[in-house]
Structure 1
Amino acid sequence: MRFAQPVLLSLALGLLLGGCDRNFNNQRVATYAPGAPMPAIQAVPSALVAQLKTTPAGGLDQASLADLNTLLARQGRLSQQTLTLRPATPGGEQVATRLAQVLRQLGVRQVIVAPTQLQRSGDTDLQVVSEAVVAQVPDCLIRDPDSVTVKPFTAIGSLGCANRANIARMVADPRDLNRAQALDGGDGIAATNAVDRYQRHETVELLDINFNKD
C-alpha cells in the first residue's frame, strides 16, 4: 500500500506529458501540412490564330516566322494538329501553297488551304488557324514566396505539380489524359533506327520554318 501513491503520481505525470507531446506534434504537423490537392490535368480543345505578313521575295517576314513557330509549338505535336491556311492576298496564296507542302513533310496530317479571300485586313497576307486537343499544364511556381521558410509545403503549393506537368507535356496524345487507351504494339525497329541516327549524328532538326532561305 505504501507504493500506491508514487504509482498514481507517475501515471498522472505520464498522461500529462503525453498530452503535451501530442499537442506539440499536432502544431508541428500543421506547420508543414500540404495545401489543397492539385486537380487532374485535363486535355481540352484549343484554337489559335497567327496573322502572317509576306515579303516581296515571296517569303514571310521575321516577326511572322516567329509567330508561326510559337503557334505550332503551343499546340503540341504537329501530327495532332489540324491547320487551316487562309490567304488574303495573291502573295499570301503563293506562300500558303508552299507552307502546306512543308507542313505535310513535317508530319501534319490535316492541312487545309482555304480559297483566297481578297479582303486584306491590316498587314495580314495569310492567316493560319491551328486546332488541336491540348493539355492544360499548370504553372508550378512557388505559391507564397514570403512564407516559404515558415510553412514550406504550404508556400510551395501542391506537391508533385512539376512531376505531373512534365508527364502531361510528354504524352503523345493529350486525349489519353482524359481517358486511357490500350497501348499499340511496340515498334522496336523504329526505336533502334532513332538510336542509330543519334549515334551517327544524323538527328532531325527542330521545327524552324524560314522561307527566306529558299
Structure 2
Amino acid sequence: MRILLVEDDELLAEGIMTALRHFQYNVDWLSTGAAAVKMLKRADHALLILDLGLPDMDGLQVLKQARESKFDLPVLVLTARDQIDEKIAGLNAGADDYMVKPFDINELEARIRSLTRRANGRRTDLLEVGRASLNLNERVMLFNDTSITFSRREFSLVQAFFERPRQVFTREVLESLSYSWDEEIDSNSLEVHIHRLRKKLGNNGIKTVRGVGYMLVEEHFS
C-alpha cells in the first residue's frame, strides 16, 4: 500500500518512513503544503498522513483544499497541537483520525490499518479469496495449510490482487503500488516480483493479460 507523508521535520519524516517500510508500506514524503496540494491532484495513494505545522501553509488548509477537490482518501493528522479545539477543527476540516506528537509508531500503524479497513468497507484485517487468507496485520498468507511470507513489494502486489480479485492491473499501476518515488525501478523489476509471487502462490495464481497487465485467478485458490 502506498502512503503520502506530508511532514516538514526531516528527521521525523525519515523515522516514520523507515518504520512504515518495515511494516511493508511504500511511503512518499513531501515537506510543504503547496507540494502536497499539487501532488494530491495526480498521485494515487491509499492514505495521507498530514502534519498541521507546515512551513508554507497550515495543514488544515491543505486538508480543506483536498476535501473541496473531492479527494476522498483517508487522512490521518499528526500534530503537536493537543488542544481539544484544534482536534475538533481538524476533524471538521475532513480528517479521519488525529494523533498528537510524540506518538508510538505501532499505534500509528494500527490506525493506518483501521482507516484503510474503513475506507474499503472491511471489518477485519483478513482478505480472503477461496481457501487463501491474507492477514494484513501479520503480513502473512495462509494457503493450503502453509504460511507464506512476502517482501515489502511482493506484499503490496498481493494485497492489491486480493483487494480486487477481478481487476486487471496495468504495469504502471502495479509499479506505483510497489515503489516509492525515491526508489529506482529496473525495466524488468515487476516481472521479477510476479515470478516470485507465482513461485509462492502457484504458477496459475496470477494471470498475464497480454497487452494489459496482470490479474488474480480466483479459481486457483478455490
TM score, norm. by length of structure 1: 0.29
Structure of higher CA gyration radius: 1
More strand by share: 2
Normalising by structure 2, what TM-score? Answer: 0.28
